[in-house]
Amino acid sequence: MKEIIPYIFAILIGLFTTAESYMSSELGEMTSPSISTFYNLFIGAIVFAVPLVLSNNINKSVEILKARPLLLTGGIFGAFIIYFIAKSVPILGLTVTLTLSIASQTLSSFYLDTFIYKHASLGIYEIIGVLFTLVGVWFMVK
């Protein structure tokens, strides 16, 4: 049963990304993309702060000070993702925005897994997968 949980989480990532993209773009049009981004991150921080405080793991938070500073910049990427979604969805729509986003995630992670981390090989099936990804993007954007 444990093996299915990561698959469920991966599916939820896709569903949540779509929902978050819609909400960010709507809120961004009502206010501004910057305000939308701020409140998305603020509410998200509260959502994760409450169980952190209630579980007494707040003491473990000091371990973050031992992390390489570069590892702490992930939040910057998260902020830009929300901001870029709020700016792109009203112009491109959810489907095109997320198709481009998913394709760029797929291709960049494939690059990292294959050439940097060496977790994947570069064979004919992988090349076909990359080509199908690019063709799929072309059809969705067209």
Determine the distance from the C-alpha atom of residue 14 to the mean position of all C-alpha atoms in its chain, rounded to a whole number.
Answer: 9
Q: What pLDDT is recorded for position 81?
A: 94
Cα–Cα distance, 130 to 107 (Å, whole number): 7
pLDDT confidence of residue 36: 95
pLDDT tens, position by position, 120-132 = 888 999 999 999 9
* Per-residue pLDDT tens digits for 44-68: 999 998 988 888 777 788 888 899 9
Mean pLDDT of 94-107: 93
Q: For position 11, what pLDDT does the model report?
A: 87
Is the pLDDT at 39 greater than 70, yes or no? Answer: yes
Exposed, middle or buried, 33 (CB in 10 Å: 0-12/13-18/19+)? buried
Question: Given the structure tokens 């509260």, which residue do they identify?
Answer: 46
Residue spans of beta strands (DSSP E) within 33-123: none
Question: What pLDDT is attached to residue 107?
Answer: 93
Q: How far is CA 47 from CA 8, 43, 130, in A?
A: 21, 6, 37
What pLDDT is attached to residue 101?
A: 94
pLDDT exceeds cutoff 70 at 115: yes
Encoded amino acid at 11, one letter: I
Residues whose CB falls within 8 Å of the CB of residue 58, separated by 6 or more in sequence, listed in order: 52
Please report the beta strands in the chain, taking only residues with DSSP state E, as ranges in sequence order.
none
pLDDT tens digits along 74-92: 889 999 999 999 999 999 9
pLDDT at 1: 60
Q: How confident is the model at residue 10 (pLDDT cuts 50, 70, 90)?
A: confident
Residue 44: what pLDDT? 94
